[in-house]
Amino acid sequence: MPSTSIDRDDIIAAAVEVLKERGSDGLTMRAVAARLGVSPIPLYTKVGDKNALLDAVAEELLDQVRVDLDDHGPWADQAERWAQGLRRGLRSLPDRRVLLHNHGRWALVGATRPLLVALRAAGLPRDQSVRICRILTWATVGFVAVEAGVDYVEDEPHLAYGSTVPGGDPTGVSSTDVDALYSSQIRFLIEGLSREVDELSTPTAGRGRRLPKG
């Protein structure tokens, strides 16, 4: 094993650097190879074609997303803080197109684990905890992905139009509106999940049944 040779992890790390420095258009097989001082051939033998490289880069970046979570308060509050932290982490990705290169289905497990631990510690069953994690993750990834394609209008447009609710201005949304829309959406989801947890844990709801209306 010659130490001069190039590893698969070296290639992915170099690709992440190229992505951060030159953007997604600058992330080419040739650029990654040139950064490592090799020909493009090792990329094809050790990682695969360009699509495989993009998958690997997405998995690497999503795997690095971490959400800290103090264990104070009821689980619903912890879940809301966790979701806000996940959104912050995803927004700071060098390229948000990796959110859709989600074939690394396990990539966000590192970010999810603290919430899963907190939910179990709060006494929730494992399947319900997994469900809550999955719904909040799915909603947050989707929100940030859509958010990346939105053009903001100037702030406080609802004052001009007279709207009293965030997102109520038909002419557009400001960046503070977007924050409020995300917060509302996450709160609605967590309220619904809370009620679901209460229903499933009460004996009258009938054990062994699937979800009501589900």
Binding site for DNA (CB under 7 A): 5-6, 26-31, 37-42, 44-46, 49-51
Q: Residues 4, 60, 23, 28: is their CA dihedral positive or negative?
A: positive
Q: Indicate which of DNA, a copy of itself, none lies near residue 150 (CB less than 5 to 8 Å, by partner kind).
A: a copy of itself
Q: Which is nearer to DNA, 45 or 92 (CB)?
A: 45
Q: How far is the CB of 31 from DNA (least distance, A)?
A: 6
Q: How far is the CB of 16 from a copy of itself (least distance, A)?
A: 19
Query: Between the CA of residue 200 and those of 116, 117, 129, what are the distances in Å?
Result: 18, 20, 13
Q: Which is nearer to DNA, 18 or 67 (CB)?
A: 18
Q: Which is nearer to a copy of itself, 34 or 181 (CB)?
A: 181
Q: Where are the alpha helices (DSSP H) in the chain?
A: 8-22, 29-36, 41-46, 50-63, 75-91, 109-121, 126-147, 157-161, 175-201
Which class for 122: exposed (0-12), middle (13-18), buried (19 or more C-beta within 10 A)? middle
Which class for 19: exposed (0-12), middle (13-18), buried (19 or more C-beta within 10 A)? buried
Residues interacting with a copy of itself, by CB under 8 A?
97, 99-103, 105, 126-128, 130-131, 134-135, 138-139, 141-143, 145-146, 148-151, 158, 161-170, 172-173, 180-181, 183-185, 187-189, 191-193, 196, 200, 208-211, 213-214
Q: Indicate which of a copy of itself, DNA, none lies near residue 201 (CB less than 5 to 8 Å, by partner kind).
A: none
Q: How far is Cα 54 from Cα 104, in angstroms, rounded to an integer? A: 11
Q: Which is nearer to DNA, 13 or 69 (CB)?
A: 13
Q: How far is the CB of 139 from a copy of itself (least distance, A)?
A: 6
Q: Indicate which of DNA, a copy of itself, none lies near residue 193 (CB less than 5 to 8 Å, by partner kind).
A: a copy of itself
Q: Choose among 188, 159, 72: nearest CA to 121.
A: 72
Q: How far is the CB of 199 from a copy of itself (least distance, A)?
A: 11
Q: Choose among 45, 87, 44: nearest CA to 65.
A: 87
Q: Indicate which of DNA, a copy of itself, none lies near residue 70 (CB less than 5 to 8 Å, by partner kind).
A: none
Q: Residues 202, 122, 65, 140: is their CA dihedral positive or negative?
A: positive
Q: How far is the CB of 36 from a copy of itself (least distance, A)?
A: 26
Q: How far is Cα 144 from Cα 111, in angstroms, rounded to an integer? A: 15
